[in-house]
Amino acid sequence: MKRLRYKKNICLVTSSRADYDLMSKLINLFKRDNRINFTLLITGQHLSKKYGYTYKSIIKKHRKNSKKIDIKVNKANKLSILNSMSNVLKDVGKYLYSKKIDLLVVLGDRYETTSIALAAYINQIKIAHIHGGEKTTGSMDDSFRHVITKLSNLHFVSAKKYKDRVAQLGEEKKDIHVVGGLGSEMINDMVLLNKKKIESKIKIKFNKRNFLIGVNSYLNQNESEEKLMKNIFQSIKKFKDTNYIFTLPNSDVNSDKISKLIYKFNKSNSNSYIFKNLGSHLYISLMKYCDAVIGNSSSGILEAPVIKIPTVNIGKRQDGRLKSTSIINSKTSYKDIFKSIKKSLSNNFKKKIIKTKNIYFQKKTSEKILNIIASINLKKLSYKEFKDIKLK
């Protein structure tokens, strides 16, 4: 009698629209692969009314393969976030305890992801971490990312420098794989919408100039969120015949402050627009027709350079990331922000960024992740030992 081949039980976690969009191709590959029994765990911002109940569209696509767990992501203050993390340990931990999962796949650096990785670790479930080794010294995510690395057995990084950093954290080099960035792959595969289609979908009319603005909370900056937003508002209003298109921040500490300030600005400016969740296809298509991406979001670092759009990266939140030549780093003062935006619109800078290289792109990033996971002997990942680096 022919022996049946063992299928790996793989669970992939998504806690926000941002990470779901990045992993959508990988999710579809997992679903179709006959070497894998696949479950998609949906949690975090997806199940929050505040962030648009984005789980609904995901369930339609992946109903047979999905499990949703509400960890009550509501207010973005310290106590609310701690409560959400507690819910992860209790509810996600209980779910993982009841399932025979061989490998949990997580992406990035969110506090929800950190708690989920900890719940898996306590349940002795092996973890694969995507996009580790990066550095964003101006946000809490920086520490969360490195914590997830230390809980994980398998690492998929976007660049050689990030492999070196994961190894520096004491991880075995043989378990670290440089596969490229999922965001770069996603955009490279996209057929973008045209202007008319975008205007129809988001109900705006493109202006002479259009700014796409995304600001998240941060650490270790002199200015408060109120002062930073005031400086941004003052700067963008200097440019006439311009649309200000805001995307709201993630559920980080103090992000509610930023959202309230954006809503207040929006009320008194008819050329200002706010969007909770555009989805990757519409968001990148919109970005393509904007004159600059402004703020401190990772999309200005990881995605805007792919389609050769200038980025005005404000403050220290993204300090430590590898940056393309299309990115202008600005301090948080009004003078520096205005000067940086003006530079991004100049003909000389626009000519310069035509030659911008996509430093995160590799072919078949998702396929590489899938094939490594499907073919690797997970039992060999059963014991983690801190690997010391020989110092000179």
Q: 114-123, 220-229, 317-326: lowest mean pLDDT where?
A: 220-229
Rounded CA separation 279/283 (Å): 6
Rg, the chain, Cα only: 21
Q: What is the mean pLDDT of residues 238-255?
A: 90
pLDDT value at residue 221 = 63
Report the Cα 53 to chain-centroid distance in Å: 18
pLDDT value at residue 4 = 44
**pLDDT band at residue 211, thresholds of 50, 70 and 90?**
very high
Q: Are 207 and 272 in contact (CB under 8 A)?
A: no
- Single-letter amino acid, residue 85: M
Q: Which CATH number fits domain 192-355: 3.40.50.10860, 3.60.15.10, 3.40.50.2000, 3.20.20.70?
A: 3.40.50.2000
Rounded CA separation 240/146 (Å): 43
**pLDDT band at residue 384, thresholds of 50, 70 and 90?**
confident
Rounded CA separation 165/129 (Å): 14
Q: What is the mean pLDDT of residues 291-314?
A: 94
Rounded CA separation 351/371 (Å): 40
| Each residue's pLDDT tens digit, 16-25 | 988 999 999 9
| Each residue's pLDDT tens digit, 186-202 | 998 999 999 999 999 99
Q: 158-172, 175-189, 221-235: lowest mean pLDDT where?
A: 221-235
Q: Are 341 and 234 in contact (CB under 8 A)?
A: no
Tell me whether residue 371 is exposed, middle or buried, using C-beta atoms within 10 angstroms of its C-beta: 0 to 12, 13 to 18, 19 or more. Answer: middle
Q: Which residue has the tokens 């920086």?
A: 142
Scored b (16 or more CB within 10 A) or e, 111-120 reads bbbbbbbbbb
Q: 46-55, 125-134, 256-265: lowest mean pLDDT where?
A: 46-55
**pLDDT band at residue 385, thresholds of 50, 70 and 90?**
confident
Q: What are the residue boundaries of the structural domains of the chain, listed by start?
A: 8-181+362-381, 192-355
Tokens encoding 280? 């990757």
| Each residue's pLDDT tens digit, 66-96 | 999 999 988 778 898 899 999 999 999 999 9
pLDDT value at residue 5 = 57
- Phi and psi for 329 in degrees, rounded to 5? -85, 125
pLDDT of 111 above 60: yes
Question: pTM for the full model?
Answer: 0.89
Largest CA distance in the chain: 77
Task: Give which of 259, 261, 266 is closest to 243, Cα–Cα.
Answer: 266
Do the first three CATH levels of 8-181+362-381 and 192-355 match, i.e. the same topology? Answer: yes
- 8-181+362-381: CATH topology is Rossmann fold (3.40.50)
Q: Are 32 and 10 in contact (CB under 8 A)?
A: no
pLDDT of 46 above 90: yes
Q: What is the mean pLDDT of residues 119-132?
A: 97
Rounded CA separation 156/176 (Å): 6
**pLDDT band at residue 2, thresholds of 50, 70 and 90?**
very low
